[in-house]
């Protein structure tokens, strides 16, 4: 959040950008006059922890501005305690999520896509406001995010056949290796790509049965919060995805250092940030995914290469099982 944007005229701009009706012009059947007569009902952007929408325990918030400097909303300024609560919720939810059949997880991820599709216009308006995109570009980004859920939904019951192996050991044993979710995964969402970037990182984490604690984009958190509303209504069990908004510098270190987090996706971190986080993450030997070598500035989230079953493989453990063959 840059100080220059603080001068924006709040009252008028805010109403015009994210009031629900303005966000969904296609759905409006009233005349323009009737619309302007009514005072819009604004949304409070809250955290998403354990399937509920608490405000941050700190009671604090920070202002979120649009690409043109207009105030969009106040977002929750989450704290270390919120991160801890989120990790606890994730740990509690993970075993049951990981134990669901792959077919079931597949359908639930597909359900996320279905519900996002229903809110497509809202997401487009939020991404436009957050990222300063044209409607056409924002629409492409939202569509790609929805399609990404569909794509990963399909991997739930297939990636183990890609990553698992049957091992022809030199002896009378049946031996195979299967992937299992690593457990609780921290996700540092990309700062720039508020929705597509987040979905691109989150879907491969949860498709295998991990639970996630996400730190949303600091400057563009609102699409992430709206995504949590989709998750809450799409059969994703509470606690499987937890989203904390706030100032990254106040949050990322606590997530990276948390002893009950098994892996950290720092793909969305800056390279300086990531170097520090990688060191902190060693404390409990976290699996650590680094930012791309070339940096995120030129990263193409729309590309097919932003999705991969091998990304699912970054957040699984390979378990090898031996059993004698005999009578």
Partner 1 sequence: MTLTKKPESRPAPNSWGLAAGDNPWEYAPAPEATDHIHIEPEYGLFIGNEFRPSKPRKTFTVINPATEEPLARVAHASKADVNRAVGAAHEAHRTVWSKLPGRERAKYLYRIARIMQERSREFAVVESMNSGKPIKESRDVDVPLAAAHFFYYAGWADKLEYAFPNRDPRSLGVAAQVIPWNFPLLMLAWKIAPALAAGNTVVLKPASTTPLTAYLFADVVRQADLPPGVVNIITGPGEIGMELVTHPDVSKVAFTGSTAVGKMIARAVAGSGKKVTLELGGKAANIVFDDAPLDQAIEGIVNGIYFNQGEVCCAGSRLFVQESVYEPLLDKLKARLGTLRVGDPLDKNTDVGAINSAGQLAKVQELVESGIEEGAEIFQPDCELPTRGFFFRPTLFTGVSQSHRIAQEEIFGPVLSVLTFRTPEEAIEKANNTPYGLSAGVWTEKGSRIFKMVNAMRAGVVWANTFNRFDPTSPFGGYKESGYGREGGVHGLGAYLDLSGSGSNGR
- Cα–Cα distance for residue pair 103/290, rounded to 1 Å: 30
Quick note: the x/- pattern for partner 1 over 275-294, rule CB under 8 A, is xx-xx-xxxxx-x--x-xx-
> In whole angstroms, how far apart are CA 275 and each of 15, 272, 290?
41, 5, 9
Q: Is 37 in the site for partner 1 (CB under 8 A)?
A: no
Contact region with partner 1 (CB under 8 A), list: 61-69, 82-90, 142-150, 175-183: 175-183
Q: Is 104 in the site for partner 1 (CB under 8 A)?
A: no
Q: In sequence order, what DSSP letters do the residues of 185-215 get, joined into one string? A: EEEE--SS-TTHHHHHHHHHHHTTT-EEEEE
User: Site for partner 1 (CB under 8 A): which residue of 5, 74, 177, 270?
Assistant: 177
> In whole angstroms, how far apart are CA 115 and each of 30, 111, 121, 235, 253?
25, 6, 12, 11, 33
The CB-of-295 to partner 1 minimum distance in angstroms stands at 11
β-bridge mates for residue 52, sequence order: 49
Q: Is 15 in the site for partner 1 (CB under 8 A)?
A: no
User: Site for partner 1 (CB under 8 A): which residue of 251, 299, 311, 315?
Assistant: 299
Token pair recorded at residue 287: 């699996």
Handedness of CA 302, 195, 262, 180 (dihedral sign): negative
User: Site for partner 1 (CB under 8 A): which residue of 3, 31, 59, 168?
Assistant: 168
Q: Is 270 in the site for partner 1 (CB under 8 A)?
A: no
The radius of gyration computed from the CA coordinates of the chain, to the nearest angstrom, equals 21
Q: Is 167 in the site for partner 1 (CB under 8 A)?
A: yes
User: Site for partner 1 (CB under 8 A): which residue of 61, 106, 182, 208?
Assistant: 182
User: Site for partner 1 (CB under 8 A): which residue of 175, 232, 253, 270?
Assistant: 175
Q: Is 110 in the site for partner 1 (CB under 8 A)?
A: no
The CB-of-187 to partner 1 minimum distance in angstroms stands at 18
Token pair recorded at residue 298: 């030129």
- Under a CB-based contact definition with an 8 Å cutoff, are residues 132 and 68 in contact? yes
Q: Residues interacting with partner 1, by CB under 8 A?
A: 165, 167-171, 173, 175, 177, 180, 182, 262, 271, 274-276, 278-279, 281-285, 287, 290, 292-293, 299-300, 303-306, 310, 317-324
């Amino acid at each position: 959040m840059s100080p220059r944007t603080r001068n924006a005229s709040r009252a008028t701009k805010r109403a015009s950008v994210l009031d629900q009706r303005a966000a969904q012009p296609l759905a409006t059947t009233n005349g323009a006059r009737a619309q302007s007569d009514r005072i819009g009902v604004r949304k409070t952007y809250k955290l998403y922890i354990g399937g509920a929408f608490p405000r941050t325990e700190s009671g604090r918030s920070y202002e979120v501005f649009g690409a043109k400097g207009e105030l969009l909303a106040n977002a929750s300024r989450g704290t270390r305690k919120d991160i801890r609560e989120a990790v606890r919720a994730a740990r509690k939810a993970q075993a049951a999520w990981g134990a669901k059949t792959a077919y079931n997880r597949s359908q639930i991820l597909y359900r996320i896509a279905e519900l996002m599709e229903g809110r497509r216009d809202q997401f487009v308006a939020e991404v436009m406001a957050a990222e300063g995109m044209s409607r056409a570009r924002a629409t492409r980004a939202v569509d790609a995010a929805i399609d990404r859920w569909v794509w990963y939904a399909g991997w739930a019951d297939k990636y183990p056949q890609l990553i698992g192996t049957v091992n022809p050991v030199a002896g009378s044993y049946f031996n195979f290796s299967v992937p299992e979710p690593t457990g609780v995964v921290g996700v540092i969402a990309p700062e720039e790509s508020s929705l597509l970037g987040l979905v691109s990182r989150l879907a491969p984490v949860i498709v295998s049965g991990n639970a996630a604690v996400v730190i949303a984009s600091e400057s563009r958190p609102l699409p992430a919060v709206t995504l949590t509303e989709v998750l809450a209504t799409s059969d994703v069990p509470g606690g499987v995805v937890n989203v904390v908004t706030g100032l990254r510098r106040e949050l990322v270190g606590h997530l990276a250092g948390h002893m009950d987090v098994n892996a950290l996706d720092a793909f969305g971190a800056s390279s300086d940030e990531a170097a520090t986080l990688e060191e902190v993450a060693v404390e409990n030997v976290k699996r650590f995914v680094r930012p791309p070598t070339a940096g995120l500035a030129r990263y193409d989230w729309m590309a097919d290469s932003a999705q991969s079953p091998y990304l699912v493989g970054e957040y699984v453990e390979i378990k090898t099982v031996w059993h004698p063959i005999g009578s």
